[in-house]
Amino acid sequence: MDVIKIAAFSDGETGGNPAGVVIADTLPSRTQMQAAAAEVGFSETAFVAPDGDSWTVRYFSPETEVPFCGHATIALGAALAMQEGDGVFHLNLKHASITVEGRQNGALITAALQSPPTSSAPANEGIVQEALHLFGYDADGLDPRIAPAIINAGATHLLLALKSRARLSAMDYDLAKGRAFMNSSNVVTVALVFAQTDQLFHVRNPFASGGVYEDPATGAAAAALAGYLRAIDWPHHGVIDIIQGEDMGARSVLKAEIPSELGSSIRVSGTARIM
């Protein structure tokens, strides 16, 4: 199985989140895709096959299938641009239809996805307290302007906004306990965020549900965060920038463009580099 390895949401020619992309005439079996994703070892691998004028896509972490993965979609947009030429590609996911755009720009490829619709709901106190205990935080360290929430833009995340960048840098947790918590809470990741300004966010995304301690770039969570900020009337002025992966030594840069209609798709963009 030919796996293209691409770092999505790179900081120019460095950083980004590695993803695998497999472009096949027909999708392999679920068992084959899961085994390949485990062998690749990246947080996600995207498997894609043509379906008329569109492409059918499934995403696998080393341990499980996930409904949507933003950084693997950006990597897929880059891979399709290399194979098919620059363009906008229509993707059929398990529970949604979206697009990804890929355009070659010298050694880098720029890519942008349109997320599935967004939704959010307040996080119940029990889940919040369990998450705070997992990461060794306390409620006093939360940013009161951005209440804890369950957020979704194709995949479900728990959002916790922190008051300081130092608290974000100090993130630490037990992987096995994190996996049990995320699986029992039905969230794919926990999005830990710090608002440096109204439009610049620093983010860390533990992904224990997929057997990954932390993702250096998470496009699905970026779209879900943007949708939530829109829902709470945050002064985003139509766009936010996200820095992720700095604490891992893999700085990643994501941009989320936010239209005014509640629940509508978020455009998440960045660059990708071939590994």
C-beta separation of 15 from 69 below 8 A: no
Whether residue 217 lies inside any domain: the answer is yes
Share of the chain above pLDDT 90, in %: 96
Residues 192-249: tens digit of each pLDDT: 999 999 999 999 999 999 999 999 999 999 999 999 999 999 999 999 999 999 999 9
Does residue 22 sit in the same domain as residue 85? yes
Residue 30 host element (H or E): helix 30-40
Q: Choose one of 114, 149, 167: the last residue of a domain.
A: 114
pLDDT confidence of residue 16: 96
pLDDT confidence of residue 29: 97
pTM of the complete model: 0.94
- Whether the pLDDT of residue 274 is over 90: the answer is yes
Calculate the CA 172 to chain-centre distance: 20
- Sign, CA torsion 22/63/186/195: negative
Calculate the CA 216 to chain-centre distance: 9
CATH number for the domain that contains residue 65: 3.10.310.10
C-beta separation of 39 from 13 below 8 A: no
pLDDT confidence of residue 124: 97
pLDDT confidence of residue 106: 82
Share of the chain above pLDDT 70, in %: 100
Does residue 72 sit in the same domain as residue 190? no
Whether residue 273 lies inside any domain: the answer is no
Helices in 94-156 by DSSP H: which ranges? 125-135
Q: Choose one of 99, 114, 129: the last residue of a domain.
A: 114
pLDDT mean across residues, the chain = 96
Does residue 15 sit in the same domain as residue 55? yes
Give the Å distances, CA to CA, from 55 to 42, 79, 90, 172: 22, 13, 6, 38
Does residue 101 sit in the same domain as residue 33? yes
Calpha distance 27→228 (Å, rounded): 34
- Whether the pLDDT of residue 40 is over 90: the answer is yes
Does residue 188 sit in the same domain as residue 239? yes
pLDDT confidence of residue 1: 87
- Whether the pLDDT of residue 105 is over 90: the answer is no
Report the domain count for the chain.
Answer: 2
Does residue 213 sit in the same domain as residue 189? yes
Residue ranges making up the domain that contains 220: 119-265
Instruction: Read off the pLDDT of each residue in 74-91 and give the average, rounded to a whole number.
Output: 97
Residues 18-35: tens digit of each pLDDT: 999 999 999 999 999 999
